[in-house]
Structure 1
Amino acid sequence: MIDQIKNKVTNADINGSSSNSNKASLEAAKVKVQKVDSSSASNGSDNNKVTKFISKERIKEMAKEPPIDKASTTRIKNAIANGSYPLDLDKIADALYDAYKELKD
């Protein structure tokens, strides 16, 4: 069985004894966080800029299109027409039976 990290941290806090390596790793993590915070503060002017990845016109075009991958749809349709699409009849039957049971309840 695998112990959860939460339990180890809680047990160390309850016992009042945590290893020196844990304290050292916590201090190192704090230093890294401070470094990240200071570097992001120096680049604060860049963070305030907003860039546009998609134009409003493209968003309108996308809203008109159906949310379907046409290439995948045609590939699946062709596979079904050719008889090469794998069908698991047991899964289909189970799903239909589950749907039937839901409707009956």
Structure 2
Amino acid sequence: MSIKITDECINCGACELECPNHAIYEGGKKWRISDGTSKKITKCKNPIKKDIYFIVSEKCTECVGFYEEPQCVIICPVNCCIVDDNHLESKEDLLKKKKFLHDGIPIKF
């Protein structure tokens, strides 16, 4: 699964700093797979949302391989980081994504 940020976001930015995959971006910002990962893919992609923070599902692993719980969900003061039912993935798939993004970075549990 991936986490998404709902329209209730207050743009505090707390979630962005907590994401080990650098999958969270400020509204209106372009993003890249290479941001915060070991990938060399530097092509910029357009923002997913303009007015509030957003989570890139291609980079979100729900913190699997880093923490026991998604850090954005824990830190959000208004509980607007929720499971994105449109991007459901198994724990195994999330671990594969984590390994893809971070090539050889050890998994912490």
Structure with bigger gyration radius? 1
Is TM > 0.5 for Structure 1 vs Structure 2?
Answer: no
Q: Which protein has the bigger strand share?
A: 2
Tell me which interval the TM-score lies in, with the shorter structure as reference length: under 0.3
Q: Which protein has the bigger helix share?
A: 1
TM-score normalized by structure 2?
0.20
